[in-house]
Amino acid sequence: MCGIVGQVRLDGQAADAVAVERARERLAHRGPDDAGAWAEGPAAFGFRRLAILDLENGHQPMHGADGRYTIVFNGEIYNHPALKAELDSRGDRARTRADTETILRLFARDGSESLSRLEGMFGLAVWDAKKHELTLARDPLGVKPLYYHFDGTRLSFASELRALTALLPRVELDPAGVMDYLSYGFVHAPRTVLAAALKLPPGHRLVLNAHGLRVEAFWEIPRRPPWEAHHHHAGTDPSLPEAEAEVETRLIGAVRGQLLSDVPVGAFLSGGLDSSLITALMARAAGKVKTFSIGFSGARAGLDESMHARTAARYLGTDHHELILPADVLSRLEDLSAALDEPIADSAILPTLLLARFARKEVKVVLTGEGADELFAGYGRYKAAYLSEQVSRLPGWGRGLAAAVARRLGKGPLFHALPHEDLAAWARANAHTTPEQADPLLTAEFKRRAGRGDAFEWLKDWEGPHSLSAAQSFDLRTVLGDCLLMKADKATMCAGLEARVPFLDRRLVEYALHLPASAKIRRLKGKFILRRIAAKYLPKPLVWRRKHGFIVPWEEWVRAPKNPALDALLTDEALKPWGVFDPVHLRALRANLQAGTPGADPGIMFRAAVLSLWCQSV
């Protein structure tokens, strides 16, 4: 796990190696163990290393045996031992035990087609000196980020947006990206909040050579999987016991593979089903596990889950470590600023950073439970989609009756809206803040500039029926790939800690996405098949208790009568240089929230505060 940066030029000029090294140092937190730089003619790479595998020989940039290929790589390849053995069997012995060299050797043999064989998380760059060709790639689920800028002759890239800004001709906001952020709390790839920067989408490669630049997918989350009603054929689905055995086998394999490390590995343990199951499988594979969780002092019921984590830790016999945070943790904005590489209005990012710093004292790697909800239908909105799918299969009179009953119960959308509604339209309607709601808070100049671009352009890819399978694919690609995984990456890497996500092993993802809805939701209980598996490893109360998110009281924070940290973000000095918000109107919203005025939206206040904080930290 590391930080990478680089620049390649097409105009015959030398890359700016000094600027690349300057950008590299903005990634020092991602790689405190080593630094590397390389420049040759039109190409220059920089690297910061967090040493996990082959601690002595994993220095980057790394060059191939014949000098043709040079790589910088951020991530981990979990099937590296098998790939290395395959390559070694052909008589070409490796010089190191590093997975970086395995990627390089595969690339030399198969070119960018080798990307489809890599099981793991990665953001990488490979320079082909013979063809004068650059390849960038990002892992299939988007666990690791990769940003870039291209001006027609010069391409710059980096693992983090703030490192890339050192290589940009200018740093200014993209109005469409800002509107996307205000609507959802994050920005959807390939757009970023900056006008000159793009984010490589998950599962995509970028190829740059004398013919120009192309960006293409090498793996994509299926948008219309075969279990949809119009593709479904009775008898083709696996039985529940067959599916359960296959999911368990693949998950065990993913956990075992992700224990690959030459340094200590632990687990984030929230006490929920997902992280507890990962920890249980780790304990089966590797013995006593170090686990880390968060508790809140003086917390109200529903906020603190630390007692559930302690229960799971005792049952599994882990070496458990607990960090107790104050309930007003959001007041520590100076800490949040360090992890806020791109604006992400997820209040859990700050506790995640503090937990990562706490865990980093004991381990260099943790396994986490991200992805299980999206794969196995853990969110409440999936139950609505599931119910509506069942209703949509009824004859016409049955659908009409169900709709009438639903309207009578005040649950119309639950039964009759979703099956007939376009997924893109649903996503637009469910934005946290609409452009119309944001309008009063924005400056006239920003609104004029924002009118030139469509903040919802990314939704064009999601037009089609809104079903359970489509909703899961949508969340995997958008909410998970562009928000939750980016939050986890920025928070953990800010602490120099590598986070791994076994549920997002591509082989498990591909199988889980093709399971019928009945394997995921039973009696309106999500993650049904996962709970059956977990029951073999965990106590029953933990397996079947209701889902509980990682809650931080951000609404109370923006409503607090006295909040110097928030008020400092709403001054003319903080807001006017970026020209997005009208300071007078934003402070009026703050006053309305303090006074409890009906209709005052705490969500847009929180997103505005995070954006203001981010602007000050760039």
Give yes or no for residue 230 having a pLDDT over 50: no
| Local structure of residue 153 (DSSP, 8 states) | S
The fold adopted by the segment(s) 2-217 is Glutamine Phosphoribosylpyrophosphate, subunit 1, domain 1 (3.60.20)
Give yes or no for residue 413 having a pLDDT over 70: no
Q: Which amino acid is at 607?
A: R
Mean pLDDT of all residues in 120-131: 97
Residue 382: count other Cβ atoms within 10 Å of its Cβ. Answer: 23
H helices present in 535-571, as ranges:
540-544, 554-559, 564-568
Mean pLDDT of all residues in 333-348: 89
Q: Which amino acid is at 588?
A: A
Give yes or no for residue 223 having a pLDDT over 70: no
Task: Count, in order, helices (H) and strands (E) of the chain.
Answer: 27, 17
Indicate left, alpha or beta for 371 from its phi (over 0: left) and psi (-120 to 50: alpha). left
Q: Which of 278, 259, 288 is nearest to 370 (CA)?
A: 278
Give yes or no for residue 102 having a pLDDT over 90: yes
Q: Which of 306, 293, 305 is nearest to 267 (CA)?
A: 293
pLDDT > 70: percent of the chain: 92
Q: Indicate the domain borders of the chain.
A: 2-217, 240-376+474-544, 553-618
Sheet holding 43-49, edge to edge: 34-40, 43-49, 2-9, 154-158, 147-150, 198-199
**Cα atoms in the Cβ-side hemisphere of radius 13 Å centred on 198:** 15
| Local structure of residue 194 (DSSP, 8 states) | B
Give yes or no for residue 5 having a pLDDT over 80: yes
Using an 8 Å Cβ cutoff, are 273 and 542 in contact?
yes
Mean pLDDT of all residues in 231-240: 63
**57 vs 570, which has greater pLDDT?**
570
**547 vs 183, which has greater pLDDT?**
183
The C-alpha atoms of residue 611 and residue 605 are separated, in whole angstroms, by 10
State residue 206's pLDDT score: 98
Reduce the secondary structure of 499-532 to three states and give it as a string.
Answer: EECHHHCHHHHHHHCCCCHHHCCECCECCHHHHH
* pLDDT band at residue 395 under the 50/70/90 scheme: confident
User: Of 105-114, 148-157, 259-268, 390-399, which range is least confident?
Assistant: 390-399
The CATH number, out of the four listed (3.40.50.300, 3.40.50.960, 3.40.50.620, 3.90.1170.50), of the domain defined by the range 240-376+474-544: 3.40.50.620
State residue 358's pLDDT score: 97
pTM: 0.93
pLDDT > 90: percent of the chain: 69
| Local structure of residue 422 (DSSP, 8 states) | B
- Has 494 been annotated as catalytic? no
State residue 539's pLDDT score: 92
For residue 264, whether the previous peptide bond is cis, meaning omega lies within 30 degrees of 0, is: no
pLDDT in tens, 318-329: 999 999 988 778
Give yes or no for residue 467 having a pLDDT over 90: no
**Cα atoms in the Cβ-side hemisphere of radius 13 Å centred on 103:** 34
State residue 407's pLDDT score: 57
| Local structure of residue 16 (DSSP, 8 states) | -
**311 vs 523, which has greater pLDDT?**
311
Q: Which of 277, 275, 451, 251 is nearest to 352 (CA)?
A: 275
Question: Furthest-apart CA pair in the chain: how many Å?
Answer: 74
In a 3-state reduction of DSSP, which class is residue 214?
Answer: strand
Q: Which residues pair with 322 in a beta bridge?
A: 293
* pLDDT band at residue 233 under the 50/70/90 scheme: very low
Mean per-residue pLDDT of the chain = 90
Q: Which amino acid is at 83?
A: L
Task: Using the Cα atoms of residue 271, residue 277, residue 280 and residue 282 in order, give the sign of their dihedral.
Answer: negative
Give yes or no for residue 544 having a pLDDT over 90: no
The C-alpha atoms of residue 346 and residue 286 are separated, in whole angstroms, by 33
For residue 357, give both structure tokens. Answer: 């710093």
State residue 415's pLDDT score: 42
Q: Which amino acid is at 77?
A: I
Backbone φ and ψ of 498, nearest 5°: -90, 125
Mean pLDDT of all residues in 154-158: 98
The C-alpha atoms of residue 58 and residue 610 are separated, in whole angstroms, by 37
The C-alpha atoms of residue 287 and residue 395 are separated, in whole angstroms, by 55
Mean pLDDT of all residues in 350-377: 96
